Structure formats: C-alpha cells, structure tokens
Amino acid sequence: MKIGIVANEPSGDWLGAAVLRALKARVPDARLVGVAGPQMQAAGCESLVPIERLSVMGLTEVLRHLGELLRIRGELTRSLLAWRPDVFIGVDAPDFNLGLERRLRKAGIRTVHLVSPTIWAWRAGRVKTIRRSVDLLLSIFPFEEDLLRRHGVSARYIGHPLADEISPQTDPAPARTRLGIPPQGPVLALLPGSRVSELRLLAGPFLQTARWCLERHPGLRFAVPLATPTLRELFMAALRREALELPVTLVDGQGRDVIAAADCVLTASGTATLETLLINRPMVVGYRMSPTTYHLLSGLRLVKVPYIAMANLLVGHELAPEFIQDRCRADLLGPAVLDLLRNRDRVSEIQSAYREVHGQLRRNAGHEAAAAVLELVSGGKP
C-alpha cells in the first residue's frame, strides 16, 4: 500500500505520526511518502521537502512566502500524481493541503484531511472547498462531526491523539525532579510560542509579567520550554533585555514536563492551551500578532468565536483568561496569574472541568483514524 501524507508544522507532524504508527501496525509494508517532520519520519515516512519550508503563520507572513509555497505545492502535486498513492492524507494546514487534495482527488486518488478547518470560527465558506477536496474528513473535536455532515462533508470524529497520550497530573513533583526544579515553592510556566514570529512578539510581555508577579509574590520561580536552539537564542536575548534577574529554568523541549511542573501556566494561544488543559493546569492566555494581521481579522470581523484558546472553546466558557494584542501586557496578565496561584477554590473548579473535557477527547484517535483510512481505501463508506 502507498500512502501520501503532508504535514506543515510541528503540531501536524505530531498528529500525522500518531496516525502513521497506527497504519503501520495494521499494514507493516505500507510505504509512506510526503512532507514529514522528525516524528513522522521516525514512523517511517519519507520526506520530499523539509517541513520547515512550509511552516509559515499569519496572513502577512504567508503573503511574503506565497510564491515559494505555491511552487512547493506544485512540485508535490506532480510527484504524487506520478507516484499514485492509494490514499493521500493532508494534516491540518487547509490553505495548503486542500488545494493539493483537490487536484489529487480530481485525478482519482482518494483523499483524507486530518483536522477540520475551523469553519465554526471563521471563513465558513471553506466548507465548499472541503466538499470538493476530500473523500473523508477526520475531526479531532467532538462538535465538528455533525456540523460537517450537515454541510455534506463525509466526516468522522476520532478524538484527539493528545488526550490518548497525556494523563491528567495533579502532582508536579516528578516533573520538577526531571527538570531539576526545587520541589517546594510555586512555579509559573511561560510558553511564549513554538514559532519565531510568536516568540518575538510574546517573550517581552511574558517576561515583564513574570517580573511583575515576582515583585508581588516572592519565592515564585519560572520555567520556559524552548523547542529549538533558535528559539532559545531569541528568548535569551529577551531575558537579557527584560528580566535577567529572574529565577528561571530554561528547558530544551520537554514542554509537557514544564507544564506539569507548574502551578500555573502563562501561554500563547495554540496547541499549548490544549496540552495545558489535558495536563490539568490552570492557565492565562496572552497573544499578539502582527498589527496588519490583527486589524484585518478584527476590522473585517472574520473571527466568529468568542475565544481564541481551544481550551476555552472546549469547556464553553472562559476558564482561562485571555489577553489579546494591546491587552497582552504585564499589568493585566499579572493579576490574572496571581489569582490562579492564590485562589485554590477557583483552581479546583477549573481542574474538574478540564478532566471532563479530557474524557470526551480520549478515543484512541490513531486507531480510529487508521481504521477509517483503511475502510476508505478498501472501498467501504467512511
């Protein structure tokens, strides 16, 4: 069996790897080819293009790289059409993958898209493109399946692979031991994003918030996971500018251990909010984007949901306070963080809600996805 697959960024690489491992368990001799990061490559996928060349975030950022992205997509289309996989799986990145899927499907190749585009949040008109592009959409959040089917998209809810992998943790001690953080005393995790563009915008206000909190909460320590050497270098530069005296532990990777070691998490929006929910830690969310991107999104009223953090969308209300753009600053973030460090009743309420969501998301997603893909390949209805 030949399986084509394209992921565009680290979170997609992780999701794709969970599905590929399950597929290889069922079809050991399957050949996997596409665009893969280290985790998908470890699962046996041959990468035709370095995944870093596709990892671009934000409207203005994408525009600057649009020519190269279109050229890469054209090359991938030609390669996959020549190779003729039995099925193609596009992992998230709908603006890139749906166009690729549409061309492959038109040529008679079965197509699967993993992770529903957020038509419930913005750009609802994309559902027409989804309908034309995919034979099967695998959704990772429970509210998406019925919505997609109402719009004529064949969809299956598989649960979220993160919920299968992560266990709710109440004791920070084991994670602190692994990270070399003292077992006693409060710890605030700072997660300023996994992309260079995010860290450039968020390292400053996050560090200013850490300093603000330390002045009012002596004994507070900080931990920061940094996924790459480039991110570590950028964060160190921000640390020298903003708060060199902070008692902070910098960690290469190990983001989940950092979250588990903390009493509270200050995080960028994104997958980190879901990981924090699953590990069962209270959080405050801060986010900034380029002014052009923000004004386009807000001025045109393109976003249709009340929250930016997936954790809040899943719970249904704002358990994680959100501070966006000009409100992402220390005098607003700091009080929200200290409230979660000091208000144990509030934290218990949050953790109870997060445990309930965790149970809804735990479905053995890799197995469910592999079964659905193989059913589609064999000619059955997805």
Handedness of CA 359, 364, 365, 371 (dihedral sign): negative
The predicted pLDDT at position 285 comes to 96
Three-state DSSP at 121 gives: coil
- Contact by Cβ (8 Å): 120, 304: yes
Expressed in percent and rounded to 5, the helix, strand and coil fractions of the chain are 55, 15, 30
- What is the DSSP track for 178-194? HHT--SSS-EEEEE--S
Amino acid present at 377: V
Q: What is the mean pLDDT of residues 13-27?
A: 94
Q: What is the mean pLDDT of residues 142-156?
A: 92
Amino acid present at 308: I
The predicted pLDDT at position 296 comes to 55
Domain residue spans of the chain: 2-159+363-377, 173-361
pLDDT, averaged across the chain:
89
In 3D space, the residue among 223, 202, 226 whose CA is nearest the CA of residue 287 turns out to be 202
The secondary structure of residue 148, as a DSSP letter, is H
Domain 173-361 has CATH 3.30.70.1380: no
- Residue position matching structure tokens 């801060």: 286
Q: Is it the case that residue 54 has pLDDT exceeding 80? A: no
Q: d(Cα 320, Cα 332) in Å, to the nearest integer?
A: 13
Q: d(Cα 128, Cα 108) in Å, to the nearest integer?
A: 19
Confidence of residue 60 (pLDDT cuts 50, 70, 90): very low
Confidence of residue 19 (pLDDT cuts 50, 70, 90): very high
C-alpha 320: how far from its chain's center? 17
- What is the DSSP track for 41-94? HHTTEEESS-GGGG---SHHHHHHTHHHHHHHHHHHHHHHHHH--SEEEEES-H
Q: Is it the case that residue 382 has pLDDT exceeding 50? A: no
Of the two residues 270 and 216, the one the predictor is more confident about is 216
Q: Give residue-wise pLDDT tens across range 64-111.
A: 556 777 888 899 999 999 999 999 999 988 889 999 999 999 999 999
Confidence of residue 302 (pLDDT cuts 50, 70, 90): very low
Same fold yes or no, 2-159+363-377 and 173-361: yes
The predicted pLDDT at position 253 comes to 84
Of the two residues 28 and 143, the one the predictor is more confident about is 28
The predicted pLDDT at position 126 comes to 83
The predicted pLDDT at position 65 comes to 59
Q: What is the mean pLDDT of residues 285-290?
A: 82
Residue 157: partners with Cβ closer than 8 Å, 6 or more residues away = 139, 140, 141, 142, 144, 145, 363
- pTM of the model as a whole: 0.78
Q: Give residue-wise pLDDT tens across range 313-354.
A: 899 899 999 999 889 999 999 999 999 999 999 999 999 999
Of the two residues 232 and 196, the one the predictor is more confident about is 232
Domain 2-159+363-377 has CATH 1.10.10.10: no
Q: What is the mean pLDDT of residues 104-130?
A: 86
The predicted pLDDT at position 305 comes to 56
Q: Give residue-wise pLDDT tens across range 220-263.
A: 999 999 988 999 999 999 999 997 789 999 999 889 999 999 99
